[in-house]
Structure 1
Amino acid sequence: MFCWDGQTLETSTFFHLSSSVVPGNTVSIRCKSSTGIGTYLHWYLQKEAESPKLLIYYSTSLQSGISSRFSGSGSGTDFTLTITDVQAEDAGVYYCHQGGYSFPFTQ
């Protein structure tokens, strides 16, 4: 079973995805903004002792080198990160971040 806890940190929200996921399941993580932000929403994954890794930028664009099992959708105030065929290696802390007009960081 997968589980996560969401908490808001100013312009970011984070979710913990446990390593006890059932492989092959589909996981959807939702992020809601209090104001309309268009598509200026980016998704990151941070694993223990590692820097955050950019997964999805501007709501739907897959970062180079990231598995196509990850996809993003949404605009305005409601956004979703979907992980298909989830694996134990996908465990970590997922962040949705309301970005400005500069390109999101990748490290």
Structure 2
Amino acid sequence: ENLISLRAIVCAIRVTQSPASLGASLGDTVSITCRASQSVSSELAWYQQQPGTAPKLLIHAASTLQSGVPSQFRGSGSGTDFTLTISGLQTEDVRTYYCQQ
């Protein structure tokens, strides 16, 4: 079994993201959760970043996929609890992911 890891970091004040890291296998479906200390309605974005490059916007308004981003990425949630789900994990998905309100 080939294990790869996804790392999640906290980006915005009063936002808690979990897990901090996780192990997964190629083809898996994985989820990263972001919780705000107070309601942010649907004003939440998810980014992907690899070392040495600028962050790439994946999802905005909690669930709207940015143009050109594959449908394996899905955002859900509203209010204080949000989730980024990545289906069919691929090697190129091994990046840092973070949320921002």
Q: TM-score range by the shorter chain?
A: 0.7 to 0.9
CA RMSD of aligned residues (A): 2.4
Among 27, 31, 56, the residue aligned to 1:28? 31
**Hey, what does 2:7 align to over in structure 1?**
4
Contact 1:39 1:75 in 2 (8 A): yes
**TM-score in terms of structure 2 length:** 0.82
Contact 1:59 1:73 in 2 (8 A): yes
User: Aligned partners of 2:42, 2:63: CA distance in 1, in Å?
Assistant: 8
Query: CA offsets per residue over residues 22-43 of structure 1, 9 Å max, x none?
Result: 1100010000000001000000
Contact 1:16 1:94 in 2 (8 A): no
- Secondary structure at the aligned position of 2:40 is classed as coil
Identity of aligned residues (%): 43
Larger relative strand fraction: 2
**Hey, what does 2:50 align to over in structure 1?**
47
* Number of aligned positions between the proteins: 97
**Hey, what does 1:93 align to over in structure 2?**
96
The one-letter code sitting in structure 2 at the alignment partner of 1:71 is R
**Hey, what does 1:57 align to over in structure 2?**
60
The one-letter code sitting in structure 2 at the alignment partner of 1:96 is C
Q: For structure 2, which runs of at least 5 residues remain unmatched after alignment? A: none
Q: For structure 1, which runs of at least 5 residues remain unmatched after alignment? A: 99-107
